[in-house]
Amino acid sequence: MKKCIQVKSNEQFQCCVMNQIEVDVWFQEEYELTARIIEFNSEVIKFSGGYFIRENIEIYVHGNLFRVLNKI
């Protein structure tokens, strides 16, 4: 099983958008969907299936995608 990393920073969100990474979306501790982030801002994250208010959800990516970002 791959390790899951929570997506929190704008740099991580931008990395997911630019590389078309599928992320898991959790709302109120329940799995909602797996999708690609289309765009985001400080308040809202847009997916192909709709919008979520950023502070109401948790986003996770599988694997060690952000290793490079953490070293910068």
Q: What is the CATH number of the domain that holds 53?
A: 2.30.30.100
Q: What confidence tier does 72 reach under pLDDT thresholds 50, 70, 90?
A: very low
Counting the structural domains of the chain, the total is 1
Q: What confidence tier does 67 reach under pLDDT thresholds 50, 70, 90?
A: low
Give how far Cα 65 sits from Cα of 2, 6, 19, 39, 55, Å. Answer: 11, 11, 10, 19, 22
Domain that holds residue 39: 4-71
pLDDT at residue 65 in the model: 66
Q: pLDDT tens digits, residue range 10-26?
A: 999 999 999 899 999 99
Predicted TM-score (pTM) of this structure: 0.82
